[in-house]
Structure 1
């Protein structure tokens, strides 16, 4: 349905188009607290009025009063009764709020079903048909703390060796593999989610598209920070859970091993994991992926749990395919590719797919071994070639009947995204106006405020340190952005100018030059030398381990902090007498001094202090040091000398002290 447009011209600040969901329940936004159902209506109930104008997507309170033919003061008063505490003539109302207000004024109009960017593709989905349901392999996610042995477990089950191929010994992408379990000979799809803290969103995605979560806990380390996060995501996802206590081979003494296992299990119970030993339904398996000890029990636990869950999906060519993008990247020779985990339907070569704002005509599908396949079934992960633009990791994939239909829905989604973005702009605009109003009222209550200085301080704000992120896959881009975008403080902040997949191009260098950005490359081993050693001297840094990248960004931000210097005293000099000498036609005053402690050198920083209050009457540098008629470079403790200061300062007196110091830069941290 096309959005209805206003028949009344909007004010310049209101030329926005958006639509918020019709609010029929509790609403709280920008200090507004509305309730769709009131015990006592704000307005008396009358006969329904016919709506004579199209409801605008946005309009000001002033325009709405003209549309409703209601006095502005009356409308503002009624809005405040409804909960719009900051209502004013220029307050901007969204379509959802306008419809709610019209209901309160007893207008009769048709309320359409709310469509937004998150559900616009739901119309393409086919309803479930029980006749097409067939048993599918379980999707199992391995989760846990970094270096607790998650990938090693998969290695054993797949009889592969991917640990040695990973930088820094940690998994940095979501890996999706379907394999035949060695003992049961049944298919299982495994997702290996990274354990490093930077990949929080990737772990969330893994937990939310899986059936069974295997929580890996090292018997040596027990519960760690990422273990707690994995537990939280497992609970939020509602998936079934199996606990694998790993690395038991490292404790050879059986008694000590049993005590360590008991300690881990007690920690899990404390964190609300209902283990079978206390009457819960969470299985615990004690394993060693390195030696293979009890790995058959882990496999048996997964298969038996999946049998109980009775996992099924529609395996029919008439069913609309649905899935999720696990990873996406740009590959040489083939272009945009995405790893898709299929949830329902049968995907074939030539199918038309939609994911986010991306459209794909499937040119090729590759399995986990890199071999081409002609079709993909539920719970299978395949790498799909043929995307016109790179989809985002975590986006849903839905099949469309034709490319024209796909383009129509993508265009509709882009329009809705634009409306939602403009709705956010409206909300911010209202918040800014409220804040400005409150600030103005506060300033009126404060006397003798230096407005220019205060305004300059507000406008300056923290300094932006700009970065451009380039990585091998979209999941890494997402993780890096989320890891560093919050870094900074009141003085400096990390500003992500751009982020994308692939090696830096000329456009990235141009953008970096314009914005003064540093280009950060992650897991890109084929960056050309002319990019790294570019003629504009733009910093291009390469990383293979994410925490090294985070450390470098933190260091760069720290280097951009305003330096703070501390005065460190290195000598004290007492002025005992003032001498006058004639140089050509002028007389100059020389301070006759004795070095009390330390060492005085020419060009040293010095300040002259006077009296018991130690008033500073001069700060500068020593111009000359003389002993007798000789000019010397420095004088040590206990010796006498004559000193003159820079800028022809001669205001010193007998009894003054010279404090020789140096400015020491104090290390600063975010």
Structure 2
């Protein structure tokens, strides 16, 4: 964003939360030398916004790949490069931050060369421009490089055709209803046009240019012009959809009806295919199970299906079925009464025939955490869902621990809170507030629900991880305080409370990291040649420089443990705290369902 701010001579980056781009933006500039109009699409660089970058690459004529001169090629750089290549879009590289003291331009160019992006000045075919957005250095060269690359493509568009526009972003504006950020691909988009998007149609009430100035009905938006479309009703498009202008309202209605019928037919075909698969599976189960003395309408079918011998078998399962056949026959002998279990009861017992639980109630089951998430636009919601999918996929145990009860774009409403209350879910918001004039806050308080909202997306991700760790992690957290090595050992006579004397082992130690302390809040673990000898130990006595102490800084000291004497030179001793996990988000009143499920 800082580079694009410099190009359009604004300071958007300073006003963006966290100083990072979190949505697709588009604007126009006029090049200083050739006076050519260039539209720039700003896509987020944060790892979470992969979908936005992919959409940006798919509608551009030229990709400007920004690489920092001090950081070099990053994972997001590689991803953006691959997306540009997948879209077969030519690339101009901008090496930014050349003003920094630790800038290493030649190193960056070597990285680019390794990626088959050789500088044209060094005999390659990639335009590489050195710039400093902060100092406004090289910006004219960058604009001209973009124009030069575009001229090689012989770009052209039909201004008189019926307009088509690509939806970059979709969201709800402040008091303006549905707002679409679009890029016109062909034709001229005007106020009053009837448009079709997916299975919906509407009429454009207002068009705003990239500076949010209204466009007159006569002017319109021509190809490669970024505009905001305001006032569409009954349309719920997603980023990546196309907006197509049609002749009139009647035509729009005809097209949407045809598309709806086509969509219904597609869903019906999918349903038929699913039903066919289900019938095949049930037939296979019937063949296997009834051959082993289990009737499909048995009221105990679900229980029997859960035994490992009666999962749908492959060839390797044949012996397993035979081995347990006798025990099953003893447990269940088919009788005529089993055939009388008809209707709903029999169907519910049939694995796979029972209706699936509604999504909004999934979080109430066992150890799942329900989430109700609202975002300011579809791109942000897409990024949140992608992150949730990727993060949970990293660990097999995480996959079934979150249930996305509800998600959507716009303010948090009373209906959102009611869904969260029914499903014991957490409410998370990104760049959204509770609906003005609603009872959202009162309902949250009444149901004792947690509501968190953020303007920076990675802080919302931190919340998701915190929710998981608090709910599924241990109640007590181990924090390492210090590490030491035993340098020598000796005998020391201690006097017990009953006046009896006892010879104990004293360990002379060299504290290498952190500190050590006595007291019941501090515990010790002894490791010898990578094997844990003892842990959970408390200190009986501690001394530093021959004097009794309660805390030991780095350096030499001595320790006697309360009930452990097996200490040898070379042992590693770790001092740690075992503290109860702090309240979630600093809130003392944790919802009852969460506290009840706490490990």
Which interval holds the TM-score relative to the shorter structure? 0.5 to 0.7
Aligned-partner Cα distance in 1 for 2:2–2:431: 21
Partner of 1:369: 211
What is the CA-CA distance between 1:345 and the residue it aligns to? 0.4
Aligned-partner Cα distance in 1 for 2:466–2:280: 38
Relative distance call for 1:493 and 1:637 in structure 2 (3 A) is closer
Partner of 1:569: none
Aligned-partner Cα distance in 1 for 2:581–2:135: 52
Q: Are the counterparts in 1 of residues 95 and 105 from structure 2 also a CA contact under 8 Å?
A: yes
Aligned-partner Cα distance in 2 for 1:288–1:414: 51
What is the CA-CA distance between 1:320 and the residue it aligns to? 1.2
CA-based RMSD of the aligned residues comes to: 3.7
Aligned-partner Cα distance in 2 for 1:347–1:315: 9
Instruction: Spell out the pairing of 1:410-425 with structure 2 (5 A cutoff).
Output: 410-425=256-271
Q: Are the counterparts in 2 of residues 470 and 501 from structure 1 also a CA contact under 8 Å?
A: yes
Candidates 291, 315, 325, aligned match of 2:135: 291
Partner of 2:495: none
Relative distance call for 1:515 and 1:379 in structure 2 (3 A) is same
Aligned-partner Cα distance in 2 for 1:298–1:565: 55
Candidates 538, 547, 551, aligned match of 2:462: 551
Aligned-partner Cα distance in 1 for 2:36–2:68: 27
Relative distance call for 1:485 and 1:424 in structure 2 (3 A) is farther
What is the CA-CA distance between 1:419 and the residue it aligns to? 3.5
CA distances 1:325-357 after superposition (whole Å, capped 9, x unpaired):
112222243211211110110112110111223
What is the CA-CA distance between 1:517 and the residue it aligns to? 1.9
CA distances 1:118-159 after superposition (whole Å, capped 9, x unpaired):
xxxxxxxxxxxxxxxxxxxxxxxxxxxxxxxxx111111111
The structure with the largest alpha-carbon Rg is 1
Candidates 507, 524, 531, aligned match of 2:440: 531
Aligned-partner Cα distance in 1 for 2:14–2:201: 36
What is the CA-CA distance between 1:448 and the residue it aligns to? 4.3
Relative distance call for 1:435 and 1:226 in structure 2 (3 A) is farther
Q: SS state of the match for residue 448, structure 2? A: coil
Candidates 187, 197, 211, aligned match of 2:61: 211
Partner of 1:475: 379
Q: SS state of the match for residue 204, structure 2? A: strand
CA distances 1:288-322 after superposition (whole Å, capped 9, x unpaired):
11112222211111112222222110111xx1111
Aligned-partner Cα distance in 1 for 2:272–2:190: 44
CA distances 1:232-276 after superposition (whole Å, capped 9, x unpaired):
00100111110011100003xxxx85xx22211111121232442
Q: Are the counterparts in 1 of residues 186 and 222 from structure 2 also a CA contact under 8 Å?
A: yes
Partner of 1:169: 19
Aligned-partner Cα distance in 1 for 2:92–2:401: 41
Candidates 392, 413, 418, aligned match of 1:505: 413
2:302 is aligned with 1:302: no
Q: Are the counterparts in 1 of residues 119 and 127 from structure 2 also a CA contact under 8 Å?
A: yes
Relative distance call for 1:186 and 1:562 in structure 2 (3 A) is closer
TM-score (norm 1): 0.57
Partner of 1:387: 232
Aligned-partner Cα distance in 2 for 1:424–1:463: 32
Q: Are the counterparts in 2 of residues 596 and 637 from structure 1 also a CA contact under 8 Å?
A: no
What is the CA-CA distance between 1:390 and the residue it aligns to? 3.0
Instruction: Spell out the pairing of 1:479-628 with structure 2 (5 A cutoff).
Output: 479-488=383-392, 489-490=396-397, 492-525=400-433, 530-533=439-442, 534=444, 535-561=446-472
What is the CA-CA distance between 1:435 and the residue it aligns to? 6.8
The unaligned stretches of length 5 or more in structure 2 are 286-310, 332-348, 357-361, 478-501, 505-560, 564-577, 583-599
What is the CA-CA distance between 1:429 and the residue it aligns to? 5.2
Relative distance call for 1:527 and 1:348 in structure 2 (3 A) is closer
Candidates 47, 62, 67, aligned match of 1:197: 47
Aligned-partner Cα distance in 2 for 1:217–1:332: 35
Instruction: Spell out the pairing of 1:91-106 with structure 2 (5 A cutoff).
Output: none
Partner of 1:250: 100
How many pairs are equivalent? 419
Relative distance call for 1:637 and 1:162 in structure 2 (3 A) is closer
2:358 is aligned with 1:358: no
Partner of 2:288: none
Q: Are the counterparts in 1 of residues 73 and 111 from structure 2 also a CA contact under 8 Å?
A: yes
2:8 is aligned with 1:158: yes
TM-score (norm 2): 0.63
The unaligned stretches of length 5 or more in structure 1 are 1-150, 567-594, 598-635, 639-662
Relative distance call for 1:507 and 1:156 in structure 2 (3 A) is same
Q: Are the counterparts in 2 of residues 356 and 392 from structure 1 also a CA contact under 8 Å?
A: no
Q: Are the counterparts in 2 of residues 486 and 493 from structure 1 also a CA contact under 8 Å?
A: no
Q: Are the counterparts in 2 of residues 335 and 385 from structure 1 also a CA contact under 8 Å?
A: yes
